[in-house]
Structure 1
Amino acid sequence: MKTKILTLVCFLSIINNVYSQERINADVTTAMQHASADIMKADITYLADDKLLGRQPGKPGYQMAVDYVVSELQKNGVKPAGEKGTWVQTILMRKATVIPGFSASLNAEGIETLLVGGKDIALTPNPIAAQSSVDAGLVFVGYGITAPGLNYDDYKDLNVKGKVVLVIRGTPETFPSSDAAHHQNLVTIQSNALAHGAVGVILCTATSNSRGFMNPRPSTSMLDSKGKLVSSSSYPFPKIKIVGMLSNPICQTIFSKAGKQLAETVTLLKSGKPQSFVTDFKLKASYQSTYTDFNTFNVAGKIAGTDPKLKKEFVVHSAHLDHVGVGAVVAGDSIYNGAHDNASGVASLLQITKIYQNLKVKPKRSVLILMVTGEEMGLLGSSYFATKPTVPVKNIVANVNTDMPAIIAPLLSVAPLGAEHSTLINPVSEAASHLGLTVEADPEPKENRFVRSDQYSFIKQGIPALHIKYGNKTADGKNDLNLFVEKWRAKYYHKPQDDINGIFDFEAGRKYAQLNFLIGYLVANDEQRPSWNPGDIFEKK
C-alpha cells in the first residue's frame, strides 16, 4: 500500500511540474530576466532624494514622485488607467483638527465630573460635521467584537442603541493572527458599533501608559467631489457622533463604580471571556473641528490582456507612493525620505512593468499598476480606489500589494500575508517554488501587518489580496532573519535615516519584483478567478 501511495505522490508531482512548466514557459522566464537590480536602485535613489522632501501628499515633492513614475510607466509601454484617460485619480483630502477648549464630562447619579482635553480625554475630529455633540449612556463592550465564526461576541445580550460604547483595543489570545488584526482595526470596531446602533466609540486606555494624550493628532480623510466622506482610518462613519479615548485613571474610575477591576477584566478578555456591562455613567461632550483641504493623486496604468472575455478583468499590483514628509529632527536630519518605505515597493512595480514590456505574449486578463497616496495616513488612497475604482470593481479579481519588502538581506523565503484566506495561496506556492523560495507563516504576527497596508482596502471590498513579506530563512541556517529586521527597523523605520545610504540588497529587490510579477501573471492567466476559502471571515456575502 505504501508503495502505491508513494507512486501516486510521485506521479502527481510530475504532473504538477509539467503543468507549472506550461504556465511558466520560456517566454516568461526570459522576460523575468529583464528585472534589474541596478534600475531598482536608480528608482529608489530618485524617489528617496532629499529634493522630494519625503513625498508628502499635497506637497510639491509628492507631485515630483507622481511625474517620475508616470514617465517610467510610459517608457515601459504601460497605458494610462486613471480618470478620463489620464494617469491619475484625483482625490480631495481633508486634514481635520479638534479646536482646543472643548467641553466634556461624565455624569452619574447627578454628579458631574469634568474631563480635561489632553489629560482625561482625547477626541478625534469629525471629518464632516464642524460642530458635534453627544449626551448618551456609556456601555463597556470589551473588545467590541462580534465574530460568529470564532464563537465570540462582546455585544451578546446588550442593547447599545443610542449609547456610546467603551472599548479596549485587542482580541482574545486564541484568535488567529489575521483575524485578530482585522477585529482590532479601528474601522472594524466602529463599523460593528454602528451596526449595533451605537452613536459613539471611546477607547479605554487599559494601562497606566497614557502617552499621546497631551498631543492629540489631527485625522485625515478623503472626500468625493460633492464633499461626501469616502474613507477615513480614524472616523469613517458620519452617523457616529463621537470618537475618542479616555485616560487610564478615568477608566479606572468607571470600572470601580461598577465594582470591577480593569486589570482583571483585561486578563479575562484575553482568555476569551466577554466582560461587557452597562455603566452608571453618561458621557456628555460638545466640540468643534476645523479643516484644511487639498488634492492628491493615485497613479494608475494598464497592461491589456489578450483573451476577448477575460481582458475585461484585472489583477491589481499596488504600492504606496507617499511617505510622511518633513518632521522631527533625528540625528541632525528632518527629511523622512522613505527609501524602503515605500520607494522600494514602487520601484518593484516599475520592474514588473519592465518584465511585461519584454513579455511577447501577454496574459489573458489585464494587469493594473496602481501607485496610491495616503497610505501613511491610514490606507486612504487605496481605500478610495477600492471604493471608487477607475475600472469596474466587479472586474477586479485580485490585489498583489508591495509595501516595504525589507530588501536588506538575500531573499530565501517569503510570508504571503493574507494568501491563506483564499485560493491565492496556490499561485504564491507555484511562483515561489519556481524561484526556489520557501513559503512560511508570518514571522511577526503581533505586528498586525496584515491590516497595516493597502491590500486590506481591497480585502474589505471582498477582493482576494495578499502582501508578500520576507520569511525567516537565512543562508547560515539559523533562520532568524526577523531578529536582524527588528534591529534594522529600530534604526530606520519612519526615521530620516531611511534613505539610500541605509542597508540594501538590490538583488533581493529584483527577486521580490520577479516573484510578485509571477504571482500576478499566474492569476491573470488562470481561467478561474481567485476565490475566498468557504466560510472565510473576509468572504463578502
Structure 2
Amino acid sequence: MKKYLTLLVSPFFFACDSSTSKFSEEDGLSVFNADTLKKHIAVLASDDFMGRKPFTEGETKTVNYLVEQFRQLGLEPGNGDSYIQSVPMANILATAAPSMQVKSGKGSFMLKAFDDYIVWTDKTDSSFTLDNADLVFAGYGVVAPEYNWNDYAGLDVKGKVVMVMVNDPGFWIGDSSLFKGKAMTYYGRWTYKFEEAARQGAKACLIIHNTAAASYPFSVQQNSFNTTRLKLDNRGKDIPNCDMIGWIPEHVANRLFVASGFDSTLLKKANQSGFKPVPLNLQLTTSMKVKASFNKSGNVIAKITGSKRPDEVIIYTAHWDHLGIGRPNKDGDSVYNGALDNASGTAGLIEMARAFKSMNKKPERTIVFLAVTAEEQGLLGSAYYAENPLFPVDKTVANINMDGLNRFGKTKDMVVVGQGQSELEDYLNDAITKKGGYLSFDQHTEAGYYYRSDHFNFAKKGIPALFANSGKDFVGKDSSYGKAMEKEFNEKHYHQPSDHYDEKSWTGEGAINDLQLLFTVGRRMAFESSFPKWKEGSEFKLTREKNKP
C-alpha cells in the first residue's frame, strides 16, 4: 500500500430519506476506544508476529489472533462454519545470477544484479535463462485501443526482452493531453506492463524505474530482491507469464541506449502518438534458479447477519499481511513490522466489528468483516475473494477498505482516492460538511492509488468501493505540516523495518475518528434499501449495470 496521513472525522447523523430506516445517531459510536485499538496494533505489529508474511509462523499467529478476536466478539463465521477462506498460492524463491552480460556490436559489458537491475519470475519452473536474448525498447508497453495507442504495433517480441517505461504515455514529459493526463490509468501500473508483455509473447520484461513515475524509490524494489514472492496458484490455468520480470533504474536504461547508438531522447519520443518500438541491437545473457512450494494462505472472514435483508451485504476489508523478515536496515533491524501498513487497518477492522456488534438496533443488511491475505504480494487475497466470492456480487452493496489509519491528530479535511467514481463519495461529502469540515481529493493521481489496494478487486467486479485516506489540513497546524508528515513516511518508513508501533506518539485519536466515519457510512447503507451507484464516466459503471441487483 502507498501511505497516507489522517482522516478527519467525528460522528454525525445522516438525514434519513424515504429508503432509509431510522436509527439512533449514537448507536455503536461510543464503543470505539483508542486504547483497545492500540492494543491490537501493538500485538499485530510486534516482533513476535514476524512481519505477518503469508506462509510463515507470522501468518499462523496473525490468523489465529483474528479468528479469536472475531469469536470473542460473538461474530458468525463468514464461510459456512469457518472463519477462514483458503487461498491457494505458490511461494516462489527466484535466485538471480549475480550479473547480466550485455553484448553489442562494439563489445560487451556487465550489469550487476541488485545495483543495476532486479529480476524475478511468476513461474514455478526450476530455472530460466536468457541466452543472447534480443532487447527491444517498447515505449510504455501499452496496448490501449480506446486511446488509439499500441506500443507493440508491428513488433514480434516472441523470445525477446522488452524494456518499457512505468506510468502512462505523457507522464514523463508532463503532457496532460494523453490518456487521463496526470491521473494514472491501469495501463500505467507495473502489473499491467508485465501482463501485456506476456500476452505479446516476450521472454522477459524490464520496467524502467523513475521515482516520480513509480511514486517510490528503486530501493523499495531492491528490498524484495532474491526473496520469496507469492502468487495465486494458477497451475492448470492458461495464464501467460514472462520467464523473467523486473526493474532497471533509469540511468542504467540510458546506458543501454548509448550502447545501442541511441540516447535518452528515446524516453521523450515514446510519448508521441504513433511511436514505434525500437530494437536496440543488444543481447542479454543471465540466469535464474527457482524453487517453488505450494500451500494455502487464509482470508479471515466474519459477519453479522442482517435482520431484514440478510442476502444484501456490506463488506469492510483490511489486509493483515506485511513483508515478514527481510533485508536489515542500517540499525540491523530485519523485521518489517508494518505497523501503519497494515496492522492499523486490521486492528481497525476488529474495532469496526465490535461497534456493529454493539448496536442496539441490529443492521438490516449483513455486515461482513474480511481480513485479506497477500495484499503486499499483489492484492492476492482480495483477488481470490473477488473470483470466488462467498456472497453474491450482485447482492454486495459496497466495499469499504481500510489500508492505514491515522497515527496523528484530527484534520479538517479527508481525502477520497478515485474522485468521481461512485456515490459513496457523496455519502462522505454529506458527513464532512455537516461537521464543518470539507472533502478533498487525491492530489497524487499519477501514483495510481486507486489500483493499489484491495478495494480495486471489488471495483473491477462492479461493486462500488470506497477508499478514503488521510487529510492534510491538521487542526492546530500550519498548511505544510500534513505534507511534511506524508513525505517523511514515504521516504523513510514505507516498506521499511522502521514502520513500527510507537506507544508514545500513536495517540489513536485520529484513527478513532477515521473509524467512526467509516462506521457511520456503513451504518447508513445497512439501513437503506437502495444501492449506491457508480457515477457517469467511471470505468466500473458498465460492469455493475450488467449485474444489476
Which residue number in structure 1 is paired with residue 121 of structure 2? Answer: 125
Which residue number in structure 1 is paired with residue 82 of structure 2? Answer: 86
User: Partners of 2:275 and 2:91 in 1: how far apart?
Assistant: 36
User: Partners of 2:450 and 2:138 in 1: how far apart?
Assistant: 25
Q: Deviations over 1:404-428 (max 9, x none)?
A: 1233121432112125322221222
8 Å contact from structure 1 (residues 54, 326) kept in 2: yes
Q: What TM-score do you get using the length of structure 1 for normalisation?
A: 0.80
Which residue number in structure 2 is paired with residue 303 of structure 1? Answer: 304
Which residue number in structure 1 is paired with residue 388 of structure 2? Answer: 388
8 Å contact from structure 1 (residues 268, 274) kept in 2: no
Which protein has greater RCO, CA pairs closer than 8 Å, 6+ apart?
A: 2
Matches for 1:62-461 after TM superposition, within 5 Å: 62-82=59-79, 84-101=80-97, 118=113, 122-132=118-128, 138-148=135-145, 151=147, 153-155=149-151, 157-160=153-156, 162=158, 164-171=161-168, 172-173=170-171, 174=176, 176=180, 179-180=183-184, 182-196=186-200, 198=202, 200-204=204-208, 216-224=225-233, 227=235, 237-246=239-248, 251-252=253-254, 255-256=257-258, 260-262=262-264, 264-269=265-270, 273=273, 275-279=275-279, 281=281, 287-308=288-309, 311-327=310-326, 328-329=328-329, 331=331, 333-418=333-418, 420-445=420-445, 447-461=447-461
SS of structure 1 residue aligned to 2:60: helix
8 Å contact from structure 1 (residues 70, 299) kept in 2: yes
Which residue number in structure 2 is paired with residue 511 of structure 1? Answer: 513
Instruction: Identify if the C-alpha distance between structure 1 residues 332 and 117 changes in structure 2 by more than 3 Å, giving closer, same or farther.
Output: closer
Is it true that 1:498 corresponds to 2:500 in the alignment?
Answer: yes
Instruction: Identify if the C-alpha distance between structure 1 residues 26 and 331 changes in structure 2 by more than 3 Å, giving closer, same or farther.
Output: same
User: Partners of 1:73 and 1:214 in 2: how far apart?
Assistant: 33
8 Å contact from structure 1 (residues 128, 229) kept in 2: no
Amino acid at match of 2:229: T
Q: Deviations over 1:61-111 (max 9, x none)?
A: 3322222222222233321113x52101223443323344499766778x9
Which residue number in structure 2 is paired with residue 529 of structure 1? Answer: 531
8 Å contact from structure 1 (residues 419, 466) kept in 2: no
Instruction: Identify if the C-alpha distance between structure 1 residues 330 and 243 changes in structure 2 by more than 3 Å, giving closer, same or farther.
Output: closer
Cα deviation for residue 468 of structure 1 reads 1.6
8 Å contact from structure 1 (residues 417, 468) kept in 2: yes
8 Å contact from structure 1 (residues 57, 373) kept in 2: yes
RMSD: 3.8
8 Å contact from structure 1 (residues 322, 373) kept in 2: yes
Amino acid at match of 1:183: Y
Which residue number in structure 1 is paired with residue 41 of structure 2? Answer: 44
Q: Deviations over 1:481-535 (max 9, x none)?
A: 1223333555544334621335223122111111111222334444343333334
Instruction: Identify if the C-alpha distance between structure 1 residues 194 and 474 changes in structure 2 by more than 3 Å, giving closer, same or farther.
Output: same
Instruction: Identify if the C-alpha distance between structure 1 residues 214 and 454 changes in structure 2 by more than 3 Å, giving closer, same or farther.
Output: closer
Q: Deviations over 1:227-246 (max 9, x none)?
A: 4579xxxxxx5443432345
Aligned length: 511
User: Partners of 1:129 and 1:491 in 2: how far apart?
Assistant: 36
Cα deviation for residue 362 of structure 1 reads 3.6
SS of structure 2 residue aligned to 1:378: coil
Amino acid at match of 2:300: V
SS of structure 1 residue aligned to 2:121: coil
SS of structure 1 residue aligned to 2:184: helix
Structure 1, gaps ≥5 residues long = 1-15, 231-236
User: Partners of 1:312 and 1:178 in 2: how far apart?
Assistant: 40
Amino acid at match of 2:536: P
Instruction: Identify if the C-alpha distance between structure 1 residues 514 and 178 changes in structure 2 by more than 3 Å, giving closer, same or farther.
Output: farther
Which residue number in structure 1 is paired with residue 26 of structure 2? Answer: 29
Cα deviation for residue 357 of structure 1 reads 1.4
Identity %: 25
SS of structure 2 residue aligned to 1:261: coil
Which residue number in structure 1 is paired with residue 6 of structure 2? Answer: none
